[in-house]
Structure 1
């Protein structure tokens, strides 16, 4: 089978022919139909992601497809089931073996492309805003990088949870995407973020995927008792948070990493995914996929992420 694989540390990933794997006890083999790309895939290629597997490994963190075979001890899934799997690796291939407990059934109404696009972006936003930040109806949510995969899902989920959403992104085209997802107010990345947010009454919850100066400006525009979620650092700089400023405004900075929950509270991830797929079946969420590419063009998909030329998700079909 074909797999987009890194064979040794520091090596560039490329499509390779490798044997089709067999599922071990507690595992399923999935004939993969779609895999979402993530910024983490770029970091794994550089070896800088916190959960980079030991080489050799196949890239691709979130997959959707059809169960092809089951290992010993698996009784709740069977060949032919349509599943989504937050795999952490192995998704950019024609087949993959994954722990059965990570698989979630997807409704017939949900395409494989949507199922691949929902997991990390929507799972991150749903768990961060609901489980961690406890976003309340009527509060103001500021989303930076609002046209990216996680940012756009945060706009959509924030509106579903009853918040007023301020979306920050670069350029009219990306801001239009955020507005279509439900944003109430738009701020271009070239504008003074702190000034604009304060003029709108300040933010109660900040969902920041950029870091650096953007986080600093959002921090200064947060209302007393506000909560800040440093979700990612796409701008390249991890912000340093002045603890004395937290005290003055009684602010809370909340750490969140969806992959960590797979180790110590996997049921939180499963419950979130089940909620999200139910919302999709009800027509309440619709992932924005700006590019759909075949497995032969996965390098081009990675380049789109690196150059920030995509909005929402890039999905590889297999």
Structure 2
């Protein structure tokens, strides 16, 4: 089979697409139809993720495809989607059956691949951590990227009024198409721009970016607001002035899947699956690449130029 391999830590261009032995049996083998690029894939290749995988390894953490042979409670031919820290950017992936889910009838492979990590992260962050409900005002930073655009779509579906902060006209257009009530260019005085759009403040901030956007977004919260940090795609971990947290009674919260109550996680996953299955929410797929162009797909995400999700289709 062909696979995208990281032979040594480095930039996306170190990744090589080469012939590899098919994965061993003993788990579930899935023939990959579509795989989604996530920012942690870039960090893993660079050796800068919170978990280090010794090279060489097959890159990719999210996929959708068809079970190649029965195993782990799955029948050959079943349509599944799954995640794992590596292995997805290949023609075949060996998957832990506990990390696989059946794709609902009518949901295309590309949608299933694109919605797993980004929409799962955004939905759990909105529902379980930010506690967003109808009528809330929500600021989404990095609103043109995979998680950010998913958060725009899902917060809108929950009845919230979304202000999307995104760096290019193309990303802001995608956020408006995803339901944002207002869009803001982060270049310039972001604090003043948010105050103009949200004179009474927001109830929640969803932040997958960090960096210099964090403080003005924090200042835009209303009293008692919730600031949810998901990641630091900017590459910079911000410093938060704690006096603002004290004076405004703000909650600063972090999101990780491992912190979720299992019952709550299952309930929210079911809710999200229903939103995807009935078409209420559809991930924005901004670019598609063949397996041979995996380095270019990783570079697009690494440079922050991706709009929505980037797919690799073996």
TM-score (norm 1): 0.92
Q: Any conservation in 1 of the 2:7–2:16 contact (CA below 8 Å)?
A: no
Contact 1:86–1:102 (CA under 8 A) maintained in structure 2: yes
Q: Is the 8 A contact 2:219 2:244 kept in 1?
A: no
Please give the secondary structure, in 2, of the residue aligned with 1:21. Answer: coil
Deviation of 1:93 after TM superposition, in Å, equals 0.5
Corresponding residue for residue 62 of structure 1: 62
Match in the other structure for 1:19: 21
- Distance, in Å, in 1 between the alignment partners of 2:270 and 2:15 is 32
Q: What is the 5 A alignment of 1:1-318?
A: 1-9=1-9, 12-24=14-26, 27-71=27-71, 74-75=72-73, 77-199=74-196, 200=198, 201-258=200-257, 260=258, 271-318=267-314
Cα deviation code 1:199-248 (max 9, x no counterpart): 32211100112212100110111111111111222222101223333121
The Cα offsets for residues 228-269 of structure 1, whole Å up to 9 and x where unpaired, read as 1112222221012233331211111111123x35xx866655
Distance 1:89 1:267 in 2: 27
Give the deviation of 1:195 after TM superposition.
1.8
Task: Compute the displacement of 1:62 (Å).
Answer: 0.7
Sort the Cα spacing of 1:272 and 1:119 in 2 relative to 1 into closer, same or farther, 3 A.
farther
Cα offset, 1:272, TM superposition: 4.0
CA contact (8 A) 1:123 1:269 kept: no
Moved more, 276-285 or 121-130: 276-285
Query: Which digits, 9 at most, give the CA deviation of each residue in 1:75-130, with x for residues without a partner?
Result: 3x211110010222110011111111111111231111111100111001001010
**Structure 1 counterpart SS, 2:156:** helix
Q: Tell me if structure 2 keeps the 8 A contact 1:119–1:273.
A: no
CA distance in 2, matches of 1:309, 1:212: 17
Question: Displacement of 1:49 after TM fit?
Answer: 0.8
Cα–Cα, structure 1 residues 301 and 140, in superposed 2: closer, same or farther, change >3 Å?
Answer: same
Shift in alpha-carbon separation, 1:270–1:293, aligned structure 2, 3 A: farther
**C-alpha offsets along residues 11-35 of structure 1, whole Å, 9 cap, x if unaligned?**
92211221111232xx311111110
- 1:138 is displaced (CA, Å) by 1.0
Tell me the TM-score normalised to structure 2 length: 0.93
Q: Measure the CA separation in 2 of the matches of 1:57 and 1:274.
A: 32
Deviation at 1:270, TM superposition (A): 5.2
Q: 1:153 offset after TM fit, Å?
A: 0.4
Secondary structure in 1 matching 2:95? strand
Deviation at 1:185, TM superposition (A): 1.0
Which deviates more from structure 2 when the two are superposed, residues 46-55 or residues 102-111? 46-55
Deviation at residue 39 of structure 1 after TM alignment: 1.1
Distance, in Å, in 1 between the alignment partners of 2:125 and 2:55 is: 30
Number of equivalent positions? 310
> Are 1:145 and 1:210, in contact at CA under 8 Å, matched by a contact in 2?
yes
Unaligned runs of 5+ in 1: none
Structure 2: which 5+ residue stretches go unaligned? none
